[in-house]
Amino acid sequence: MVSRCMKTDSPFGVLLIREGDDSGSATTHHIGSLARLIDFYQGSDGLLGVTAIGGQRFRLLASEQQDDGLYIGTIELIEDEPPLQLPTEFSTLPKILANVMDDLGRLYESQDRKFDDAVWVTYRLLEILPIDLEQKQLSLESSDTAARLKLVGELLHSVRGPAQQQSSD
């Protein structure tokens, strides 16, 4: 798959596994993201490492496993949400996100930054925040930017709350 995607500059689909594992039989969620390989390398242990950037969401309509073990599928693209101005009560999110992206280095340095778009900001924060994969999946499936903003606000508040309480003791 990596070779094919690199040669043809084509994306591949990423779906969260619902049951099973990636080395055997698995069932997946039906909403995923197209991803593009931007780099790959072979580690000293012989394993292939890849760097990919996620893109447009899709819905899996059907899939089958090829003889080589690779799954292929029929998908429909999910229309991107239109940009949405960030509400003033979330005005600190772009600065938080910018700082985190800067700290993460190379992976995010070449990405277009749309800090005035609530849709873009919420998706970037939810991909970066250390939340469980099922929560990330629910956010990926959602086209409700207001709900994602609320979730991000709650997550950041829960992280900041204990730290602020300890510093005031």
pLDDT at residue 166 in the model: 42
Residue where the block lists tokens 């039906």: 30
pLDDT at residue 13 in the model: 94
Residue 42 has phi, psi (to 5 degrees) of: -105, 120
CA dist., res. 14 & res. 39, Å (int): 16
pLDDT at residue 160 in the model: 65
Find the angle CA(65)-CA(79)-CA(91) to the nearest 5 degrees. 120
pLDDT at residue 119 in the model: 94
pLDDT at residue 67 in the model: 87
CA dist., res. 75 & res. 21, Å (int): 22
Q: What DSSP string describes 44-107?
A: TTS-EEEEEEEEEEEEEEEEEE-TTS-EEEEEEEPPPPPP-BPPGGGTTHHHHHHHHHHHHTHH
CA dist., res. 57 & res. 76, Å (int): 9
Q: Set out the domains of the chain in order of their start, with CATH numbers.
A: 2-77 (2.30.130.40), 88-168 (1.20.58)
Which residue stretches of the chain have pLDDT < 50?
163-169
CA dist., res. 87 & res. 92, Å (int): 10
Residue where the block lists tokens 């893109």: 55
Rounded to two decimals, the pTM is 0.79
Strand, helix or coil for residue 8: helix
pLDDT at residue 161 in the model: 56
